[in-house]
A and B are shown apart, each in its own frame.
Chain A
Amino acid sequence: MAKRDDLGLRAALADRLLPVLVAAMSFLAALGLAGTLASASLAHSWQSQASDTLTIQVPQPNNPDASGKTTRLAAVQAALAQTPGVTNPQVMSQADENALLTPWLGEDATQLGLQMPGVISASWAGPGSPDALGEALDKISAGTMVDAGAVWAARVAALTSSLQDCAAAVLVIVALVAAAVVAVAARAGLAQRRDTITIVHGLGALDGDIATRFANRAVVLVAAGSVAGTLLALPVLDWLAALAAPFSGQMTGSALSNVPMPLWFILPLLPIAAAGIGWATAQLTVRSWLRSLP
């Protein structure tokens, strides 16, 4: 079929409503994509920080240990230094402990007369989980507790995995809604141009030719709407990225500089994907409708 608008599709295929609806869908898809990327990035960052961290609490740290030769805190620290897989054991200073407890206990927790445990931070680089470490340290200094970051890392992983699933579900829903919007627009165009299409069909137009004319028109409208929606999403993404900067360790800067680099590569794919959805949906809708003709 000729490249000209013989079917009158410029007038028939909603050239105002469809791009606006697709722009809205693309806006949401851009946010969904950003959410997927952000949750993946945060998950990676938090897990790598938390999974290898050990926090050991030693009650009555200055009392003698089981052997009576040294303090409980020093005994645990020495044991940690000799345990394979444990690296960099550091006793937390009183000042650091106070800083941690200040939100709950005030400026100087020692004035409350509480028995503060000694705290040792270390990294776990051994194979498997450090579960057996707690039992070993308890024998050296009764009541010693080991808090492994891996437990928290697993919880963070579960949370961020759920967030990623939600973001992916949003993307799928947005894609389905966009396809439905294109299908409705194509059916409206078919209804409006029913006589024309019946005539052209009778003159020997192939189903594929007619469907491609609709699909090409849909691609133009969908791509235009999607580009607009994606561009409109950029300032919002920049604002959200600026809000999230303290958590991700990034610095805020000039306009749009907060948008993560991977998004700059992925966002241009959004109009392409939208155009693909529009083309395929229009093809399917029109070919299905043409089946009603002999």
Chain B
Amino acid sequence: MVRFEDVWLKYRNPARPGAPAKDILRAISFEIPDGGFRWLTGPSGAGKTSLLKLIYLAEHPTQGLIDILGTRAANITRREAALLRRRIGVVYQDFRLLPQLSAYDNVALPMRLAHRGETQINADVTEILRWVGLEDRLHARPDELSGGAQQRIAIARAVVARPKLLVADEPTGNLDDEQAQRLMLLITALNRLGTTVVVATHNMALVERYPAPKLRIEDGKLVQNG
């Protein structure tokens, strides 16, 4: 379950210390049940990425309560936060692959962090890279791959450890229609297996093709929930 209760996020401009903090998110409240699926939509700069950062614990709210997978985010230690992050798969808008690692090692990273055995890692990573169509690029480094291929690696890394919560920020932005369809098949399959999913997108065609409840943000406020 993901639950936001009157969550505010404000940023101060470090270049103007005296200036008032800017409201990025304002009084956000919603709840996504375990195994739920939500599209997160809204115009650029509305606050979608900031809201996702709160979900995957990359930001602390200025005000309000956040529960992630049944854990009150404000009450946990750094170690507990790290262990909670391992249960969250994240597809970043800018991929965030480690440039010094191969495609295989990038995808294997979450499993290695969780101290899984190399036998299991090899089976799961090979399978997921086959799923995203990169089984022949296992040893390629990110800078040797196209933007679309890098995005597929980022997606594979996010789902390889079978997270309880999957957060994706524009996951189909660099994919062609066929790859986007394939990705959505993967995400909906995970969702059917019980993974809670939040996908931020501008692609309204994709949203219409896979109908699900929507969280719509405009100017930092939640204007649609459901």
| Residue on B nearest A205 in the bound complex, by CB | B113
A294 vs chain B, min Cβ distance (A):
6
Complex Cα distance, B113 from A148, in Å, reads 73
A residues in contact with B87, CB < 8 Å: 204
Size of the A side of the interface (Cβ < 8 Å), in residues, is 20
Stretch at the interface among A23-31, A64-72, A194-202, A261-269: A194-202
- Flag whether A11 is at the interface (Cβ < 8 A): yes
Given contacts A6-B109, A204-B86, A204-B113, contact A11 B100 (CB under 8 A): yes
- Flag whether A203 is at the interface (Cβ < 8 A): yes
When the two chains form their complex, are residues B82 and A207 in contact, meaning their CB atoms are under 8 A apart?
yes
B75 vs chain A, min Cβ distance (A):
14
B residues in contact with A95, CB < 8 Å: none
Given contacts A1-B112, A2-B112, A6-B112, contact A205 B98 (CB under 8 A): no
- Flag whether A172 is at the interface (Cβ < 8 A): no
8 Å CB interface, A1-20 against B: 1-2, 4-6, 8, 11
When the two chains form their complex, are residues A203 and B110 in contact, meaning their CB atoms are under 8 A apart?
yes
- Flag whether B78 is at the interface (Cβ < 8 A): yes
- Flag whether A251 is at the interface (Cβ < 8 A): no
B residues in contact with A8, CB < 8 Å: 98, 100
B52 vs chain A, min Cβ distance (A):
12
A residues in contact with B101, CB < 8 Å: 6
Q: Mark B60-92, 1 if CB is under 8 A from A, else 0.
A: 100000000000000000110111111110100
A residues in contact with B79, CB < 8 Å: 206-207
| Residue from the set A4, A201, A203, A294 with the largest chain B CB neighbour count within 10 Å | A203
Size of the B side of the interface (Cβ < 8 Å), in residues, is 28
Interface residues of chain A: helix, strand, loop or mixed (majority): loop
Given contacts A8-B98, A11-B100, A196-B98, contact A203 B86 (CB under 8 A): yes
B99 vs chain A, min Cβ distance (A):
8
- Flag whether B57 is at the interface (Cβ < 8 A): yes
| Residue on A nearest B112 in the bound complex, by CB | A2
When the two chains form their complex, are residues A6 and B98 in contact, meaning their CB atoms are under 8 A apart?
yes
When the two chains form their complex, are residues A294 and B113 in contact, meaning their CB atoms are under 8 A apart?
no
When the two chains form their complex, are residues A204 and B100 in contact, meaning their CB atoms are under 8 A apart?
no
Given contacts A6-B101, A8-B98, contact A204 B110 (CB under 8 A): yes
A interface residues, Cβ below 8 angstroms from B: 1-2, 4-6, 8, 11, 195-196, 199-207, 209, 294
The 3 closest A-B pairs by CB, nearest first: A204-B86, A204-B85, A2-B112
Pairs across A and B, CB under 8 Å, 29 listed: A1-B112, A1-B113, A5-B100, A6-B98, A8-B98, A8-B100, A11-B100, A196-B98, A196-B100, A199-B97, A200-B98, A201-B82, A202-B58, A203-B85, A203-B86, A203-B90, A203-B113, A203-B157, A204-B82, A204-B85, A204-B87, A204-B113, A205-B82, A206-B79, A207-B79, A294-B57, A294-B59, A294-B60, A294-B81
